[in-house]
């Protein structure tokens, strides 16, 4: 897989930042005083994902780990089945944002064109480029991993993730996704202003290294929506650990595809919403469906 990254000569004064952090001036208010200050804020950029010359999606994301994002998004959105189906990636930076241009092998390109033919037309619902409600909730991949974790492992994983959230420590404005297992500890972490983007970047980073999510905890700093469960299933993660709560649909889909959801995870407590057999010592029961 070939990569290139270059900037198109700007036609306007504004230029897209390649840094994930932007420095701004602030006025700090407190009861004592209101001095001027400097604050590091997370950058947010429009990023287009273009396959063989056709733009499929435009997302707002943090402009870092873009190759990981390209591969992860392509996998979780079903554009490819394996990373090696991407022949090359060109990252082109414009005034308005960044265009990630992916060039697919023949099989993936034919599949992409076929999907595009089925969504072109005036009657589509417009949700993420699909045309029917059934396509909004495809059957998830089944996750069969039987690795088990105790409370100490979950706490250790969360502490490790917190220590590696460098961009969040600087800006206090981004989400993180990480993968942890008992043998290797924290395998990888990716951060982004968008929780979906952070997970896509993690999926891309792991898949590029040939790693799967089995026998590991998938750590999220966000709520667990159905899309996060679907992406976890693509990664093959048997257990999601999140600091916030899941949605009802996420619980039902996780139950269906075999994923354990551990949510509302704190230093001294957490709740198990689905498949509690993987959490040692858990007396939790899945929520009523």
The domain ranges of the chain are 2-136, 151-278
pLDDT for the residue numbered 9: 53
Q: What is the CATH number of domain 151-278?
A: 3.40.140.10
Per-residue pLDDT in tens (0 to 9) along the chain, 289 residues: 888 887 765 444 345 678 999 999 988 877 666 667 889 999 999 999 999 999 999 999 999 999 999 999 999 999 999 999 999 999 999 999 999 999 999 999 999 998 886 544 443 344 455 556 666 788 889 999 899 999 999 999 999 999 999 999 999 999 999 999 999 999 999 999 999 999 999 999 999 999 999 999 999 999 999 999 999 999 999 999 999 999 999 999 999 999 999 999 998 999 999 999 999 986 544 444 4
CATH topology of domain 2-136: Ubiquitin-like (UB roll) (3.10.20)
Strands (E) in the chain, as ranges, are 2-7, 21-27, 36-42, 45-51, 54-61, 86-93, 98-104, 175-181, 185-192, 217-220, 239-242, 260-263, 271-272
- Rounded Cα distance, 102 and 51, in Å: 5
pLDDT for the residue numbered 29: 77
Residue with tokens 């498949």: 275
Residue with tokens 């949510």: 263
Active site residue 128: no
Whether 2-136 shares its CATH topology with 151-278 is answered no
Catalytic residue from among 28, 125, 128, 257: 125
pLDDT for the residue numbered 11: 45
Instruction: Look up the pTM and report it.
Output: 0.89
């Amino acid at each position: 897989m070939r990569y290139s990254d270059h900037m198109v000569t700007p036609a306007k004064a504004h230029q897209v930042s390649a840094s994930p952090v932007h420095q701004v001036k602030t006025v700090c208010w407190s009861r004592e005083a209101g001095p001027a200050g400097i604050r590091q804020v997370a950058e947010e950029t429009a990023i287009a994902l273009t396959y063989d010359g056709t733009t499929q999606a435009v997302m707002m994301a943090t402009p870092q780990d873009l190759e990981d994002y390209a591969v992860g998004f392509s996998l979780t959105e079903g554009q490819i089945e394996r990373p090696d189906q991407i022949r090359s990636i060109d990252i082109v930076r414009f005034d308005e944002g960044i265009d990630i241009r992916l060039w697919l092998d023949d099989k993936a390109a034919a599949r992409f064109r076929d999907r595009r033919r089925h969504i072109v037309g005036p009657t589509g619902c417009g949700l993420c480029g699909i045309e029917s409600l059934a396509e909004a909730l495809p059957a998830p991949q089944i996750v069969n991993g039987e690795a088990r974790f105790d409370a100490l492992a979950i706490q250790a994983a969360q502490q490790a993730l917190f220590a590696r959230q460098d961009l969040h420590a600087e800006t206090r404005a981004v989400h993180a996704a990480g993968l942890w297992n008992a043998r290797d500890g924290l395998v990888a972490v990716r951060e982004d202003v968008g929780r979906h983007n952070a997970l896509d970047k993690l999926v891309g980073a792991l898949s590029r290294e040939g790693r799967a999510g089995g026998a590991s905890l998938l750590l999220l700093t966000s709520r667990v929506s159905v899309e996060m469960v679907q992406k976890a299933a693509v990664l093959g993660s048997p257990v999601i650990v999140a600091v916030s709560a899941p949605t009802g649909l996420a619980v039902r889909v996780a139950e269906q595809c075999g994923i354990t959801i551990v949510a509302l995870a704190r230093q001294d407590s957490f709740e198990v919403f689905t498949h509690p057999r993987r959490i040692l010592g858990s007396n939790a029961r899945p929520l009523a469906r």
